[in-house]
Amino acid sequence: MNMQKRTIVALPGDGIGRVVLDETIRVLDRAGFVASYVEGDIGWEFWKSEGNPLPDRTIQLLETHKIGLFGAITSKPKDAASRELDPGLKEKGLIYSSPIVGLRQHFNLDICIRPCRTYKGNPLNFIRRGADGAIEEPEIDVVIFRQNTEGLYGGVEWTNPPEIVYKGLASHPRFVKNFGNVPVEELSISTRIFTRSATGRILRAAFEHARKQGYKSVTVCEKPNVIRETSGMMYKMAQEIQASEYPGIELWNTNIDAQMMWLTKNPEIYGVIVAGNMFGDIVSDGFAGLIGGLGFACSANLGEDIAVFEPTHGSAPKYADYPESIINPIAMMESACMMLDHINEAETAGRIRSSIAKVVLEGKVRTYDMMKMTGRADVIQKGAASTRQMADAIIENL
Ligand code: NAI
Ligand code: MG
């Protein structure tokens, strides 16, 4: 084990983000991971009090220490955001934008990794019926690589586009044919921009992971037959990269719509899946649903030298103020394990994952989601474990 002391930027954020991060740091400590944590301000509180949910000092902390563990933040629609601003800030024309999206963009955290693995004994696992009528529980081990900064989430959008944009569009014969008669003020346009460099980075990250972790296939999950330019470029580049750099790994090609159907038919055949921003978001939620949903869905956002690890769930504000928290901390703990892998502490990550696996398999300690209960304060009286009890059980089994 690497005994050199590291500094991790802890970004609790809002709501249940703080709870899951505290419990996760407790598990990391007890697993013997030697680190100090500096807390970075992020989220709704800082929007209200400073008009900025991602203060510069937080950016600075990440620039210095490189590694962030992020809980969750609360976002609200534009009007609600303005209403909640500190009175002194109201007239300044500040506009709220999500600080986690801001972080991904500021540090160009363009590679998003979302593993979805079955824990044996998890009552939330996907089951299906075999040809003989018997119930089957396929073992899923899929890692989704999602391009994190471009595509439909790139933010280049217009309603009633300016003339220069309209003219550019009107130079495309398809635009003239399909939209040429539509008044400009009735047009809403969201662009889907892919660059060769970011596309190459996400593809290579996917292939490299497949090679290192022994997955036999990489599936490009896009829609190149219809979205010919962006999806088409990604698939073509994947073919080139596979042929020249990763001949030992099979390249599969699925369309996002068919993939969403196939993932309940035979999810166990897939290994690494790679996609653009939007389809990566969709396909990763699809697979997460098969392995336990939000309480189990973890992720990494990787840039060239900065990385932020986070559960995919949000701040679940309705559960934030329970005297005894009921939410499942496993997604956050799994995200911390991804952090450990990233900083060469894979042995510690392995021990935490085995401990989670033991607790899930034994089935004695289960949070409300694992008991298929509706989340309410009384679930603990009904036998569900609290967040803390789940963390304690994982610590006991380390
Ligand atoms: P959410 O993920 O916070 O919660 C949805 C529902 O999923 C919850 O009500 C709860 O029933 C369940 N859930 C979530 N995490 C769970 C856990 N760890 N254990 C057990 N059950 C869990 O999504 P929602 O309600 O759509 O959004 C709430 C707030 O979170 C919003 O302000 C939204 O903008 C923000 N959000 C932030 C994200 C982030 O920080 N990356 C991601 C998604 C939403
Ligand atoms: Mg999502």
CA of 285 to the centre of ligand 2 (A): 6
pLDDT of residue 5: 82
pLDDT of residue 284: 97
Beta carbon of 75 within 6 Å of any ligand 1 atom:
yes
pLDDT of residue 149: 95
Q: List Cα–Cα distances, 9 to 18, 301, 329, 349, 394, in angstroms.
A: 13, 14, 19, 18, 23
What are the pLDDT digits (tens) for 5-14?
Answer: 899 999 999 9
pLDDT of residue 27: 98
Beta carbon of 23 within 6 Å of any ligand 1 atom:
no
pLDDT of residue 46: 97
3-state secondary structure (DSSP) of residue 321: coil
Beta carbon of 112 within 6 Å of any ligand 1 atom:
no
Beta carbon of 386 within 6 Å of any ligand 1 atom:
no
Residues of the chain with pLDDT under 50: none
CA of 43 to the centre of ligand 1 (A): 14
Q: Whose CA is nearest to atom 8 of ligand 1?
A: 316
At a CB cut-off of 8 Å and minimum separation 6, what does 351 contact? 31, 398
Q: Whose CA is nearest to atom 27 of ligand 1?
A: 314
**Which ligand 1 atom lies nearest to the CA of residue 71?**
40
CA of 338 to the centre of ligand 2 (A): 18
pLDDT of residue 79: 87
8 Å CB contact between 58 and 47: no
User: Per the confidence metrics, is the pTM higher than 0.75?
Assistant: yes
